[in-house]
Amino acid sequence: MVDGQIILRPDGYYWCLPNDMQEIGPFLSVEEAQADMQAASGEAPEPGETLQEAESELGISDWIDPDTGEPAEGWSNPHLDRD
């Protein structure tokens, strides 16, 4: 359980943590703001963690398929350059 605060602004609902001045939002409802706050509690990157380290923790491949521009996932055929 995250001990955060929900704030109503003219453009929607925001949430913030007690020791943090950053407000996250806007959300259309209190429920959406609470759900996002709960989801963010376990997924915050560690200070100094790089994108590559975070992706590696999640098991995301670091090889990008040049044909699709997407990360390669699972088994794939060899990619041979033809000159």
Whether 79 is in a domain gets the answer no
Supply the range of the domain harboring residue 49.
Answer: 45-73
Count CB neighbours of 60 within 10 A: 13
Looking at residues 61-79, what average pLDDT do you find? 68
Number of domains in the chain: 2
Predicted local distance difference test score (pLDDT) of residue 28: 93
Same domain, 51 and 36: no
pLDDT in tens, 7-48: 999 999 999 877 777 898 899 999 998 888 887 766 555 666
Mean pLDDT of 41-63: 68
Residue 69 lies in a domain: yes
Predicted confidence at residue 65, as pLDDT, reads 73
If asked whether residues 59 and 28 sit together in one domain, one would say: no
Q: Give the closest residue to 26 by CA, choosing from 10, 40, 39.
A: 10
Do residues 69 and 37 share a domain? no
Contact call for residues 44 and 52 (beta carbons, < 8 A): no
